[in-house]
Structure 1
């Protein structure tokens, strides 16, 4: 199975750590949505979208990328990291997937160290995350996706 995970990860690299764990299961290409590149998502069996949660939603770059490049009918999944909680952060991606008739295979989320805005004043929140258990849960989540598609 060939999977593309289209992502945005800055600040502390929390999301990238989670995606590196998933990619360790094999068959994954990580695509940074901020890099200028030729994208052909039709070639993949499955597509993931991943980001930190910013003010309750995925980064705008990931949302725009999904609107522009997600092919009709491709199975998708979502992954995110967050300081506080995930909330309804996948709402817009779920709408995009529905518009493009893409089955949603699942969502993964875990805490990620956050020093944005006022959190910086207190030294950040969710310190030490993603941790070893978070990364193992990410690997397990992706293994389940792969098994479901075989």
Structure 2
């Protein structure tokens, strides 16, 4: 993403059905590694719960590709390992207005301590509404655990939860190419802000 430095710090992606909200610059943790050229390489990991149709995993894989991040389930990562990363993503589908219980319980079990940067992402049959954002409770919980949540992203996805199953589900073709491109741009914005502060 080739933006002037001032815009890189406050970049906000809003493309197609995907939506992102920026919360400020990302600074590298002192334990960052160097790449083959000797430049500091951001270390990122994505903790993702994707249980119904693979929607959230598809989005996580696109974000992970841009950030060069491993995508793991909550049961595939040791909580202590998260301290080794500059940036940690947390995402799942939305079930009755909440992130998946497995992801919420993983975050609740984290010890409260000073941590690095984090972002939150979700897939849902319906968009977030301003007066009741489904990302807000997870963002607050992560902040209580010591993370600085720098950004959020959500997009529509195929949803067969509860009553929607009776009609074969909603948003059957989602996430689509536009949603995945919005996820890619969201991740590029995160990366650009990390690179701007290194």
Q: Same fold (TM over 0.5)?
A: yes
Q: Counterparts of 1:86 and 1:61 in 2: how far apart (Å)?
A: 21
Q: Do 2:46 and 2:90's aligned partners in 1 also have CA atoms closer than 8 Å? A: yes
Distance 1:68 1:85, change over 3 A: same
* Alignment pair present for 1:75 and 2:110: no
- Aligned equivalent of 2:189: 144
1:29 to 70, 80, 93: 70
Q: What secondary structure is seen at the aligned counterpart in 1 of 2:59?
A: helix
Moved more, 21-30 or 3-12: 21-30
- Aligned equivalent of 1:41: 82
How many aligned positions are there? Answer: 149
- Aligned equivalent of 1:120: 165
2:150 to 88, 105, 115: 105
Q: Do 1:50 and 1:62's aligned partners in 2 also have CA atoms closer than 8 Å? A: yes
- Aligned equivalent of 2:50: 9
Pair member with larger Rg: 2
Root mean square deviation, CA, Å: 1.7
Deviations 1:63-108 (A, max 9, x none): 1212223752311100100012334211221212322342221111
Gaps of 5+ in 1: none
Gaps of 5+ in 2: 1-41
Post-superposition shift, 1:26? 4.1
Q: Do 2:67 and 2:191's aligned partners in 1 also have CA atoms closer than 8 Å? A: no
TM-score by length of 1: 0.90
- Aligned equivalent of 1:55: 96
Q: Counterparts of 1:116 and 1:14 in 2: how far apart (Å)?
A: 13
Higher relative contact order (CA 8 A, sep 6+): 2
Deviations 1:81-136 (A, max 9, x none): 00123342112212123223422211110001011211112121011000001001
